[in-house]
Amino acid sequence: MHNDLTAQDIAMMQKELEHRKLELMPELIEEVKRTRAFGDLSENFEYKAAKQAQNRNRSRIRYLERMIKSAHIIEDRAGADEIGLFDKVELYFEEDDETETIQVVTTVRCDPLQGRISREAPLGRAVLGRKAGERVKVETDDGAAYTVVIRSITKETDDGNGTIL
C-alpha cells in the first residue's frame, strides 16, 4: 500500500525526519543518560519519562521513513478555475444555511478542525476538480448525502518546504 503525497509533503516529512535524527535523538539519548544517574530505575520517574520520549521519537522516525519509502508522488492537475490541492474553497451548505471555508489537502496535512479536508474524504473527493458556482452532491461513506454550493476558489501555492503561502 502507498500514500498519495505531493513532492512538498515528502520534503516536509524529510525535514522532520532529519530534525528528529540529528537534533532530537542526541538530546533524548543524553536525557536518558542523565536521568539514569538518579539511582534506582524501578522508582525513577524521570528515567521512565525520558525512555518514553525516546521511544516515541524512534516510533515517529520509523513512521516517517515508511511513509517516504512507500509514497506515490502526485501532482495537482487542476485548471486555473478548478479546485485543486491546497486551494481555499468557500462552500455554502444548503441544509444548514451556513458558509464554511475549507482547504483540500493530502492526508498527511489533514486537520478538519482547521478546515483542512483530505482529498480522500467524501467532501474533498466531491469538490476536487469542480468550479465556482457549481452545486455538488456529497455522498458520505454511510450512504447519506448533502449538497454544497461552491461560492469561491482562492488558489494557494506551496513554497516547497511544506508551507502554504
For residues 68 and 98, give the distance between their C-alpha atoms in angstroms, rounded to a whole number: 38
The whole-number pLDDT of residue 161 equals 45
For residues 129 and 143, give the distance between their C-alpha atoms in angstroms, rounded to a whole number: 22
- Please give the average per-residue pLDDT across 101-123, as a whole number: 90
Which residues make Cβ contacts (< 8 Å) with residue 63, sequence separation at least 6?
none
- State the cell numbers at 29: 539519548
Say whether pTM exceeds 0.85.
no
CA distances from 132 to 74, 78, 88, 108, 124 (A): 24, 13, 12, 26, 15
Mean pLDDT taken over the chain: 88
Query: Tens of pLDDT along 17-29?
Result: 999 999 999 999 9
- Please give the average per-residue pLDDT across 49-61, as a whole number: 96
